[in-house]
Amino acid sequence: MMRLGVIADDFTGATDIASFLVQNGLSTIQFNGIPDNSDALEAQAIVISLKSRSCPVEQAVEQSLAALSWLQQQGCERFYFKYCSTFDSTEQGNIGPVTDALLAALNETQTVICPALPVNGRTVYQGHLFVGEQLLSDSGMRHHPVTPMTDSNLLRLMTRQARGKAGLIAAPLLDQGAEAVRSQLNNMREQNINYVVLDTLNEQHLLTQGEALRDMRLVTGGSGLAIGLARQWAAADADHSSAEEAGRPQGQRAVVISGSCSQMTNRQVNAYRQQAPAQEVLVRRCLEETQSYAQQLCDWVDANSDQALAPMLFATADAQQLQAIQQQYGAQRSSEAVESLFAAVTKELKTRGWQRFIVAGGETSGVVAQSLGVTAFHIGPTISPGVPWVRDIHQPLSLALKSGNFGDEDFFRRAQTEFSHD
């Protein structure tokens, strides 16, 4: 019986929450986009990944409502709008408008706002979102090229983006337990407060939230809240290891592809370059000679496939390099050129027999999955919190899809060496 339907605003965010659901006892299948059939609906949770984080507001709302409708048609009664743990959005949206649209479609008036993921350093205190010890607005997200986050106050962010009223349940009340949280939610509903920001400092807060919110029809947040909710719904004797086994990586030939320019991915790329063959992707050549350049890069990957660690193609740049590239070629034009190049490369590598793809960056991951024809997959073992191996349901393909700031510096190597494959 399906208990939960998740609508995720990007591809790696979807695999992020799917991994936490599986780890905490819910069998989970992820779909890349809204399915046109009902494959594999025996799972307790279904995650639909959209590409709605930074598209126009109207498009994000339309896609999200279509996903909700499909999940309702499958008999789903509980819903989770998943966005990034750094609340990636602009003053116009898309988190606020999508939340409003989902509430209206479900005829509900209240939900929670919970981007926190303490295990990855994302916490909320007095309604302010922190990245490690820094306020969100003081972190590297302040300079994000698409969704620069210059305010850390989630109540202000929601009030600017959405139509309703925001309120806060602070940490001391969460420490009192689930019943206290439920009572306060009811009080706030009577005060016509639509978006309740939840302070979250530790995993116990997530477990308390899961117990308090198990019957709420719509919740919104990062992947952390899924920990508490999944534990509420999972059977006491759920076999977590067998659920993960279905997604264990397979295939002998691996490649690393990095399109993210986040601070952590920059560190991961720099560390991996010291251990494995690495080739930088040049924006100028992406723009001028996509197909021939893609073939050359595939030939380079072929020539370096006999090394102990997989070859890496990277378009990762630090903030100063990225600014220079965007000034020279334009932000959208350069980004689309690199995405097109990676799409051509992955499609060609698949025809040459590559079966394992380790990918950094939400946009890049979506492009790679689409070019490989990946539409649905099993969630496998976790490499780092929020980043599992996944295994295509229909093809002999395995992918590790990493949001920009997730994982440790040694992520690319560990993804290959710590997990056995067929």
* Model pLDDT for residues 151-167, shown as the tens digit of each residue: 999 999 999 999 999 99
In this prediction, residue 384 carries a pLDDT of 92
Query: What are the φ/ψ torsions at residue 420 (nearest 5 degrees)?
Result: -75, 155
- CA distances in angstroms from 363 to 56, 102, 170, 381, listed in the order given: 15, 24, 34, 22
| Crossing angle (nearest 10°) for helices 319-329 and 331-351 | 100
Q: Is the pLDDT of residue 421 over 60?
A: no
Query: Is the previous residue joined to 120 through a cis bond, with omega within 30 degrees of 0?
Result: no
Which is more confident, 107 or 289? 107
| Owner of token pair 């920001």 | 197
Q: Is the pLDDT of residue 417 over 70?
A: yes
Tell me the pLDDT tens digit for each residue of 216-248.
999 999 999 999 999 998 865 455 566 677 788
Q: Is the pLDDT of residue 422 over 60?
A: no
The pLDDT-based confidence of 5 (bands split at 50, 70, 90) is: very high
Q: Is the pLDDT of residue 40 over 70?
A: no
- Give all domains of the chain, ordered by start, each with its CATH number: 4-243 (3.40.50.10840), 246-417 (3.40.980.20)
Are residues 386 and 19 in contact, defined by beta-carbon separation less than 8 angstroms? yes
Chain centroid to CA 263: 17
The stretch 13-27 carries a mean pLDDT of 89
For the chain, give the mean pLDDT: 92
In this prediction, residue 95 carries a pLDDT of 98
Instruction: Count Cα atoms within 13 angstroms, Cβ side, for 270.
Output: 11
Stretch among 20-34, 171-185, 292-306 having the lowest mean pLDDT: 20-34
**How large a percentage of the chain has pLDDT more than 70?**
96
Tell me the pLDDT tens digit for each residue of 352-380.
999 999 999 988 998 999 999 999 998 88
Spell out the residues 6+ positions from residue 56 whose beta carbon is closer than 8 angstroms to its own. none
In this prediction, residue 237 carries a pLDDT of 47
Which is more confident, 94 or 35? 94
